[in-house]
Amino acid sequence: AKVRHYEFNVEYFYKKIDCVEQFVLGINRQFPGPTIRAEVGDTLEIAVTNKLSTEGTAIHWHGIRMYGTPWADGTVSITQCAINPGETFIYKFKVDQAGTFYYHGHHGLQRTAGLYGSLIVDLPKGKKEPFHYDGEFNLLLSDWWHKSAQEQDVGLLFKFVEFRWVWEPQSHKMVVVEADGHYVQPFTVDNLDIYSGESYSVLVTTNQNPNQNYWLSVAHRDANISTTQALTLLNYKNISPSALPSFPPPVPPIWYDYEERKVFTKKVLALSGHTPQPPKNSQRRIVLLPNQDLIDGYLRWGVNGISLSHQTTPYLGSVKFNLKSAFDWKSPLDHYVPYDYDITVPPVNHTLTMGSRIYQLQFNQVVDVIVQNTNSFVPNISSFHPWHLHGHHFWVLGHADGKFKDGDEKLFNLKNPPLKNTVVTHPYGWTAIRFRADNPGVWSFHCHMEPHFHTGMGVVFAEGVEHVKGIPQQALACGLTGKLLMNKKRSS
Ligand code: C2O
Ligand code: CU
C-alpha cells in the first residue's frame, strides 16, 4: 500500500462546457476535477487549497467510509469547518474498498457549480474481479445548468437531478456487475437507471461492426421536462465522429414509467460469496418521513418535522467536546407524527420547523432506517429521492409501495441484499436499509439532490464519538470549537 499525494486548487474559471462560455468551479483549472486512482489499502493525502476569494469550501469523498478519520469526510458544518479562502486543508484517509467512487464539494451548491471528479479504487495487483473484461472506461454523469449555482441558491426552486442511461437498444446490452463498489448478481439491461450519488459497472461486449459509430445516450426522467438527451459516440476503433451512426439515437424510455424503474431497483442483489450478509435482527428502527413545506414562506424540505439547518460549529467537534449550546441536543423522533400521516397528499398540519437535532446511535448497534416517501408540497407529485449515507455502506433490505407498517419487516431480504451507499426511494413508497453503527464519527444521511439537502432534507447520526481521536485543529477552527481552541491557547 502506498501514500498518494495530490494537490487540489479549488477555483473558478471560464469554460465552454456545452458550447456556452460560463464560469465553472473546478480543480487545478480542470473540469471535472482530476481523476484519483488508487489501490485498496492505499492512503490518499490530498491538500485542498481554497483559491476562491469569498467562499469557503470542503470536499467529500463519496463512498469512502473514513474509518478512523471521520474529520476527513468533508462535510461542512457536520465534520469540519469550511476551508476559508487562502487556506489549505489536508485530507488524509485510507481507501479500504475497491470500486468506482467520486468526490464532490459539500458546501452550499458547490457540486452544482462543478466541483467534482472521479475516484477509482482498484483491486491490489494480482487480484481478479469475479468477471472478465478487456478494457474499461469511466463515465461521470452530471447535470449542467446555464444559470449559476449562486442564482440557483437565491432562487432555489428547481428539482430533477436524475438520469437514465440509454444504450443503443438493438445492439448493445449491458451486464450490470457492480454497484457502489460491491459486486452484484449480474443482470442484463438495455437501459441503466442511475440516480445522483450512485455508481455502477457494466460490461459491454464489442461484438458489433467495428467500422461504425454507436450512440450512447443519457436522459433525465424524473418529470416531464424538456431537457434534451445528452449524446455521445462509442466506437471500437478510431472512427471520425462525423461518421454518424446509420440509425437514429435511442429514444429515452417514457418518464412516467415508474414500474419499470422499480423492477430495475429490485434486480440489484448481492453476488453471493462476495458481500457479507446483514445481521439477522436490528436493535433500533428509525422511520424517517421526509416532506416539503413552507417555513415562514420559504419552501424547505424536512425529515420527521425538522428541516436540518446548518450549524456554525460542526457536529463532530460539538459532540466530541460536549458543547451544550452548539446545537439542540434533544433527540429527534424515531418515527413520524401523526402515525396516520396521509402520504398521498401534500402536508396538512404544517408542523415543519428548522432544527439541529441529531440521532445519537449506540456504538455498534444494528440500526434499520426506513425512508417513507410522501407527496411533496404540490398535489399529485412524489419524487424520486436518492438517499446517501456517509461513513457506511448499508444493506438495502427492501422497497415497496405505500406506507411501511409493523410487520412489513417480513418483506425484508436478509439473504442477498446489496451493500450500497446511496439508494433511491420511489414515489409514494418506502425503502429500508440496515447498518451497524460501528464507525466512530458523525455522519450525514441525506437526499443526494443537492438543492434538497441544501434546503434541509437530511439527518445526522452520531456514533462512538468518544472513540474519535486526533481531530486536526483546522477542522475545529470555527464556531464554538474555534473559541475553545483559542481559550486553550491563551491559558497555556
Ligand atoms: Cu455525495 Cu453528502 O454526499
Ligand atoms: Cu430529494
From the CA of 390, give the closest atom in ligand 1: 2
Q: pLDDT > 90: what percent of the chain?
A: 75
Residue range 142-169, pLDDT digits in tens: 888 888 888 888 776 544 444 556 655 4
CA–centroid distance for 81 within its chain: 20
Ligand nearest to the CA of 449: 2
Cell numbers placing 140 = 461521470
Residue 160: what pLDDT? 40
Mean pLDDT of 399-405: 96
CA of 373 to the centre of ligand 2 (A): 10
Show the cell assigned to 386.
436518492
178: pLDDT strictly greater than 90: yes
**Considering only the top CATH level, what class is 162-267?**
mainly beta
pLDDT for res 207: 87
| pLDDT mean over 451-480 | 96
* Residue-level pLDDT at 158: 46
* CA count, 13 A, side-chain hemisphere, 350: 6
Cβ(444) – ligand 1 distance below 6 Å:
yes
Residue 248 above 90 pLDDT?
no
Find the range with the poorest average confidence among 49-58, 187-196, 263-272: 187-196
- CA dist., res. 264 & res. 251, Å (int): 18
Q: What does the domain layout of the chain look like in residue ranges?
A: 3-144, 162-267, 284-476
Topology match between the domains 3-144 and 162-267: yes
Say which ligand is closest to the CA of 382. 2
pLDDT of 291 higher than 80: yes
Predicted pLDDT at 10: 98
Distance CA 128, CA 270 (A): 18
Distance 447 CA to ligand 1 centre (A): 8
With residues binned 3-state (H G I as helix, E B as strand, rest as coil), the percentages for the chain, rounded to 5, are 10, 35, 55
φ and ψ at 192, to 5 degrees? -115, 125
What pLDDT, on the 0 to 100 scale, is given for residue 168?
55
Point out the ligand 1 atom lying closest to the alpha carbon of residue 458.
2
pLDDT in tens, 76-93: 999 999 999 999 999 999
Q: Going by CATH, does the domain composed of 3-144 fall within 3.10.20.90? A: no
Res 412: pLDDT: 98
Write down the mean pLDDT value for the chain.
92
Mean local confidence (pLDDT), 131-142: 89
- pLDDT(171) > 80: no
Percent of the chain with pLDDT strictly greater than 70: 97
Do residues 439 and 464 touch, judged by C-beta distance below 8 A? yes
Mean pLDDT, residues 457-473 taken together: 97
The confidence score (pLDDT) of residue 254 equals 81
Predicted local confidence at residue 163, as pLDDT? 55
Q: Give me the CATH topology for the region 284-476.
A: Immunoglobulin-like (2.60.40)
66-75, 234-243, 410-419: lowest mean pLDDT where?
234-243
Query: What is the 487 CA–ligand 1 centroid distance (Å)?
Result: 33
Ligand 2 center to 325 CA (angstroms): 30
**From CA 15, how far away is CA 23, in angstroms rounded?**
6
The span from the CA of 23 to the CA of 466, in Å, is 43
Q: Which residue has the higher pLDDT, 247 or 395?
A: 395
Which ligand 1 atom lies nearest to the CA of residue 444?
A: 2
Does 96 have pLDDT greater than 60? yes
